[in-house]
Amino acid sequence: MKTIQKDEYIFSVDVKKTQEYYKIHSVCDCPCCRNYYAQIKNKLPKLDKFLNEFGVDISRPDEIMSVEENNYIDYITVDYTVCGNVQSMGTYEIDIYDNLFLSIVIIDGFASPNEQTEKYFTISVMQIKLPWVLNEPFPLPVTKKARFKFKIFDKLFKRQKNNKT
């Protein structure tokens, strides 16, 4: 196990098991996810380096929640699991500036569907916005009604996160 410290967080990570997990777990094949896989590694190198330290393959997340906007995809949250545990939980999210301001939220345990069978924690990356790069039609943008629902979801998530602190 490797000890990793990020801001106030201290993690005990099995990097090798995490790397093995990312070699074999399945990924979504929807257009928005494929758009993410196609460009994320080169688009956000600081995030890639951050995740790589834990053994995570940035281009193989466990779960992606996204919304099609007018000319880009808003990846509201992208979840990755890491084999190991959180030894000391920080007070706030971890922030990274990598061409975009990104918030990284650590969840000790289950956050989204995954294929993990060992002890793990989840790294959720928020606020990723990427252009459409696939050589296929851009998905239709969400309606105003659906966008309103996502804003409510975002407010609830922030309120829930603030109540934990």
Contacts of 158 (CB under 8 A, 6+ apart): none
Q: What is the mean pLDDT of the chain?
A: 87
Looking up tokens 């094949």 gives 29
Phi/psi of residue 49, each to 5°?
A: -65, -45
Total domains present in the chain: 1
Domain limits at 66? 2-164
Q: pLDDT by residue (tens digit) across 119-131?
A: 899 999 999 999 9
Residue 138 has pLDDT above 90, yes or no: no
Looking up tokens 């990427």 gives 130
Residue 50 has pLDDT above 60, yes or no: yes
Residue 146 has pLDDT above 80, yes or no: no
